Amino acid sequence: MIIYVLHENIGHLGIFVSSSVAKKEHQEIASVTKMIESLAPGLYEMVITTEDGERRVAFEERKVEDIKALCGEEDDVAKFVSVARLSKVATDAYDMWLRPIVKTLVTPEMADSMLRLHPMRQQRYFFSDNNPAMTGVDEFARQARAERKPAEPGNPFVELEQLNAALIEQGWDFYRDLRDALFEMSFHAIYGSPWMRFISGTSRQTRRRRDPLRTPEVQDALERIDKGGYAEALIRMLVLMAHARGSVRRSRLERSNQILLSREPFATMPQEERARIIREQTLIVDYAAPGRAVNTLPALLPDPADRQRAIDLVLEVAGTAEEMDGPTASMFERLQAVIETRASGWKVPAASSSALPVPVTEEEQAPASTQKRRAAS
């Protein structure tokens, strides 16, 4: 499972180091850390919004194509392959030829001296109490803080100070933008050249996309599509509901997590077994035909009591009909029709014309691999 967070103004590092952003993002990230185990495996964007003064967290399903659209041109991947290849060559050459010499000549004392004499450390040492020349500065600073008197707002020196600060800030911003543009152009010019592509091997390789349907894990999951019991059926229905909705709100995730921790058979089930069932049922929903994932549910729930218990729990997690959007309500109607059981307290949404099951087309009944071939043609 991969979850990422975006911010409209700052980069990914700023989310974790900026104090102003941390007040919101850190609190919300920490509040859902223990519940993400209830999410089906996949790629999600954590979206934090504010509605009526209350923060809301939702996990929106995403695809790799969405990440590619954020990152820009796919051609840049070949350039980073060149960087990785050259970096490995340089590392191997250093380990083979230079590292033994350096280890022989450099003693621990020399290494410690080089560490202390680093320019970045020296400039800190110079203005610290370790420098005898700075003796007394601390007392002067304490006296200045005690006797500080703010200048008048109209003081020309204050205005000159603000003007000078703005000029310095704009100057550094210009230098930063110019430097970044120069580095970027140099990177593309060097690592995008045919010579670098030849070194990295990207000019002679064609990327092969592995078909996930051919992996043993997916094949094993699809072979067990009609095998299992109450736990497998409940998890599959929750995954189907989440896929129909396209996102999972924190409130629903909390309810789902509560079920997986307090209700049987999940309460006494080992964590590894719960994770295995969630992953297996997610693979079935993702790679089996939608019709098969739904229509095989009766085989997992032969007992009418289990069917009633399962559909009631799905409604408890999903919320009332008023909380559901159209696709989610349609999926819930379909689940009830397939297992021939109505949830207690369920009211048909006004937008739904009937409680009949959604017709399963021939396309849905076909295996997922056949669907992909038809879509490609």
pLDDT 10s digits, 214-228: 788 888 888 888 888
pLDDT of residue 363: 43
pLDDT of residue 169: 96
pLDDT of residue 352: 47
pLDDT of residue 377: 37
Residue 42 in contact with residue 3, Cβ under 8 Å? no
Of 373, 326, 375, 374, nearest to 352 by C-alpha is: 326
**CA 293, 295, 300 angle in degrees (round to 5)?**
80
pLDDT 10s digits, 27-77: 666 666 666 666 767 788 877 777 777 777 777 778 877 777 776 656 667
pLDDT of residue 59: 79
pLDDT 10s digits, 278-299: 888 888 888 887 688 888 888 8
Residue 257 in contact with residue 248, Cβ under 8 Å? no
| Cα distances (Å, whole numbers) of residue 5 to 39, 48, 79 | 16, 9, 26
Residue 284 in contact with residue 222, Cβ under 8 Å? yes
**CA 16, 60, 69 angle in degrees (round to 5)?**
80
pLDDT of residue 214: 77
Residue 218 in contact with residue 288, Cβ under 8 Å? no
* First CA to last CA distance, the chain: 31
Q: Which residues pair with 56 in a beta bridge?
A: 49
Q: Which residues contact 232 (CB under 8 A, 6 or more apart)?
A: 277, 280, 281, 300
| Cα distances (Å, whole numbers) of residue 6 to 16, 25, 249, 305 | 11, 10, 17, 44
**Ranges of the chain with pLDDT below 70:** 7-38, 40, 71-76, 200-210, 248, 250-251, 290, 348-377
Q: Which residues pair with 57 in a beta bridge?
A: 48
pLDDT of residue 174: 96
pLDDT of residue 350: 57
